Structure 1
Amino acid sequence: MDSEGGEYHSCAFTLGERRVLFRAAKITPRKDGQFVTLWRRSSRGVTEPFGGDCGYDLVIISVQKDKQVGQFVFSKSVMIEQGIFSSVKTGGKRGFRVYPPWDRTTSKQATLTKKWQSAFFIALPEESAASIDKSLAAKLFY
């Protein structure tokens, strides 16, 4: 567990051969979706976005609302493509919003973000692990 990211259950681990950054998103009272931070501390002691050189392969963001639970599983290339990880083209982000299927969106930007994120979402039904989409899980996690 990352000592500075406790509020988001921040941690890193290995899943098979893949290095993973994990966060749990938080529901915020005034905006659609759920918010999550994703940053590292530089050698100068300041926070900065992760970059394509960070050594992590996946970012898993866990979301929950009432009995609905799921995870977004983003590859490093998706994080770079969407401007969340820094690259030569973009400065990256220290935090961002995720929009699970059950959250409604009221702004155009949130709707567009929800659309691209939906391909990387896997539901984790409470009632039965047997109902998890195994082919989607294999695609996202491996």
Structure 2
Amino acid sequence: METSNSRNELTTLLQTSFASLGYKLPSADELVSHDHNAQYHGYAFTLNQKRIIYRKAKVTPDRPGAFLALWKRPADCRNNKPIPLNDEFDYLLVEVTSEGLTSTNNQVTNIERGLFMFPVNVLLKKGIVSSLNSKGKTAFRVFPPWSESRAFKGTGTFSNSAKVTQRWQCDYFLKQDQNKLIDLSKLNKILANAV
């Protein structure tokens, strides 16, 4: 179930990170809640004629990176099992933060923030979004640049496969500065599929 707080947070994020860069923002009424993904603040909206799916990834203290769900309920009401999204959108916008993480000596670290802006064609190629060639995934993990091993807290280590995933994901990562502003030139490259 959607909360007005998650809608307000998304509106603030869009105003801070995109309005100042000249992007036409959706109105609050144009933010379509994905109630089935409310735990990840799931929404759909349009930004400069691009169809965007939004999720806020969750930090998992015992594993590196952050986790998000990306699924829907099938139209066939007899089958209630979640299914991965297909190419019904142009970009996946994922908000990430290091909030809640501590360093190896259990000191609270400076909070870092950022956004991933994944083009759907990249998610198709990586098998995350469903297609004729891939069943897709209902959830996956993102690894912002600050991701590291959590082995000292739990069982999660920053594996080689996670590092490989982080390398391609960081091509689509937009660091937010202390004012939550992002790099306009990198955003424009991503939105032009030039990365």
Q: TM exceeds 0.5? A: yes
Asked if the contact 2:36–2:72 (Cα under 8 Å) also holds between the matched residues in 1, the reply is: no
Count, aligned residues: 138
Structure 2 counterpart SS, 1:73: strand
SS at match of 1:77: helix
1:48 counterpart residue number: 83
**1:141 shift after superposition:** 3.3
1:114 corresponds to: 166
- The alpha carbon displacement at 1:4 in A equals 1.9
Selected match of 1:81 from 125, 131, 143: 125
Any idea what the Cα deviations from partners look like across 1:26-65, whole Å, max 9, x if unmatched? Answer: 011221110000011101232100113x2x1010010011
Contact 2:127/2:135, CA 8 A, preserved across alignment: yes
Letter in 2 for 1:58: Y
**Residues 1:39 and 2:71 aligned together:** yes
Tell me the equivalent position of 1:138.
188
Query: What are the Cα deviations for residues 64-114 of structure 1, in whole angstroms up to 9, with x where unaligned?
Result: 113211011011100100000011111100000000001125201101100
Q: Which stretches of structure 1, 4 residues or more, deviate above 2 A after TM superposition?
A: none
Work out the percentage of aligned pairs sharing the same amino acid. Answer: 33
Alpha-carbon distance in structure 2 between the residues aligned to 1:128 and 1:23: 17
1:16 counterpart residue number: 48
Change in Cα spacing, 1:127 to 1:19, as seen in structure 2 (3 Å) is closer
Highest Rg: 1 or 2?
A: 2
Structure 1: which 5+ runs fail to align?
none
Following the alignment from structure 2 to structure 1, what is the Cα–Cα distance between the partners of residues 172 and 67?
A: 16
Supply the AA of the counterpart residue of 2:171. Answer: A
2:86 partner amino acid: G
- In 2: Cα distance, 1:137 partner to 1:127 partner: 17
In 1, the alpha carbon distance for the partners of 2:184 and 2:50 equals: 18
Bigger drift between 18-27 and 100-109 goes to 100-109
Within 1, Cα distance between the matches of 2:148 and 2:132? Answer: 33
- Root-mean-square deviation over aligned CA pairs: 1.4
TM-score by length of 1: 0.91
The structure with the greater share of residues assigned to strand is 1
- TM-score when scaled to structure 2? 0.67
- Structure 2 segments unaligned to the other structure (5+ residues): 1-32, 100-110, 150-157
Q: State the alpha-carbon separation in 2 of the partners of residues 98 and 3 from structure 1.
A: 22
Whether 1:60 and 2:93 are equivalent positions in the alignment is yes
Residue 169 of structure 2 aligns to a residue whose secondary structure is helix
